[in-house]
Amino acid sequence: MIFAKLRRRRASGKSGSPRPGVANLLPTPLDSGVITCQVQDERGQLLPGAVVTLTGRLNQRTAHGVTDSYGSFATSIAPGTHRLSISAGGYRRYSTQVEVGVNRHLQLGTVQLQPDESLEPPLPGRYRFDPYHTEIRFVAPHIGMSKIHGMFKEFDGVVQVAERFEDSRIEVAINAASIETGVKMRDDHLRSADFFDVANHPHIRFTSDRFTHLRADRWSVSGHLTLRGTTRPVELATTYLGQRKWQGPGFDGDLRVACHSTTTLRREDFSVDWKATLAKGIAVVGPTIDIEIGVQGVLEQ
């Protein structure tokens, strides 16, 4: 009985009258409208994380959000004319004008985004990492209260782009001793046998096995990482950023490709088992390390 009354109250506004066509649990102001839609990719699959923005007559932002795990978006908004745009990485922006009525539900239904043609796979060839525009960074939790940010300063990497992009290959070699976190004493400890053991294992190596296209600009690059003499499979969540020609001082129209990759490593998988703890039993260094890689590769002539 009590739950039935609650459901009736939630389905109505302050005046007690039901919102026409709106099936949400939380009440919304009676002087607003509601917009809903579901976003899909070019294959008709649900597209979570798409950015939805609405602007008013004076180009001011009136609503903003992202689609949920089911590709759905819903918002209350002031009545009137709005410009709605939907964007997602690797897709052309969708834009349309909508008219929202007082106490009305505007159902846009399914919106299907189309791929951005400018993000076609790069031309076949051998692309070497540009050390001045490539970064290999990591983030590690520290005593459960903060994070340590660091990077590797010296590395060499090559992307061999095949005729079929899925058959491409990446090889990376990192100088383990080039680790830098901004604190010399900490960097020396990271180079020691407790962590990277650079005296016996001077290089960290990654070799890809497979490129898998997920959607639009999103790829999965799987391969093997060798650290401290231990090799384990690793999967890089990768966003392809396209190819450009760069004309500038010292650069005569170099063809470049770029991507951004992330992954998470577990220390114990690579025999990095230093387990110093605080008095309360909290580990000084967390069990996982987040890796972030931003790459620009230059086509070798």
Count structural domains, the chain.
2
More confident residue, 274 or 261: 261
pTM > 0.95: no
3-state secondary structure 258-271: EEEEEEEEEHHHHC
Last residue of a domain, one of 89, 115, 141: 115
Q: Which of 53-67, 72-86, 263-277 has the lowest mean pLDDT?
A: 263-277
End-of-domain residue from the set 115, 146, 170: 115
Distance (Å, whole) CA 32 – CA 97: 17
User: What mean pLDDT is predicted for residues 67-88?
Assistant: 95
Reported as a single tens digit per residue, the pLDDT across 147-167 is: 889 999 999 999 999 999 999
pLDDT in tens, 217-233: 999 999 999 999 999 99
* The residue to which tokens 């400018």 are assigned: 118
- Amino acid found at 213: H
Mean pLDDT of 234-250: 85
pLDDT digits (tens, 9 = 90+) for 165-215: 999 999 999 999 999 999 899 899 899 988 899 999 999 999 999 999 988
Is 7 or 293 the better-scoring residue by pLDDT?
A: 293
Q: Answer yes or no: do 183 and 250 share one domain.
A: yes
User: CA-CA distance, 36 to 187, in Å (whole number)?
Assistant: 51
Q: Which residues contact 226 (CB under 8 A, 6 or more apart)?
A: 204, 205, 206
Answer yes or no: is pLDDT of 11 > 50. no
- For residue 260, the domain's CATH number is 2.40.128.110
Q: For all residues of the chain together, what is the average pLDDT?
A: 85
Q: What pLDDT is attached to residue 106?
A: 92
Q: Residue 61's domain is classified under what CATH number?
A: 2.60.40.10
Residues 79 and 135 in one domain: no
78 with 175, same domain: the answer is no
Whose CA is closest to 12, among 34, 36, 29?
29
153 plus 248 within the same structural domain: yes
**Residues 202, 226: one domain?**
yes
The residues, ordered by sequence, that sit 6+ positions from 2 with a Cβ below 8 Å of its Cβ are: none
- Residue 21: what pLDDT? 41
129 and 146 co-located in one domain: yes
In this structure, are 47 and 143 located in the same domain? Answer: no
What's the N-to-C CA distance of the chain in angstroms? 77
For residue 191, which phi and psi values (nearest 5 degrees)?
-80, -15
- Taking phi over 0 as left and psi of -120 to 50 as alpha, with beta for the rest, 273 belongs to alpha
279 plus 217 within the same structural domain: yes
Final residue belonging to a domain, choices 80, 97, 115: 115
Strands 105-112 and 94-100: unpaired
Looking at the structure, tell me whether residues 259 and 134 fall in a common domain: yes
Residues 70 and 7 in one domain: yes
Which three-class secondary structure state does DSSP give residue 3?
helix
Residues 107 and 130 in one domain: no
H/E segment holding residue 189? helix 184-191
Domain residue limits at 62: 2-115
Residues 202, 85, single domain; the answer is: no
- CA 131-136-137 angle, to 5 degrees, is 140
Q: Which pLDDT belongs to residue 299?
A: 95
Over range 65-76, report the average pLDDT: 95
Asked if 189 contacts 196 with a C-beta cutoff of 8 angstroms, the reply is no
CA distances 192 to 31, 147, 179, 226, Å, are 65, 20, 11, 17
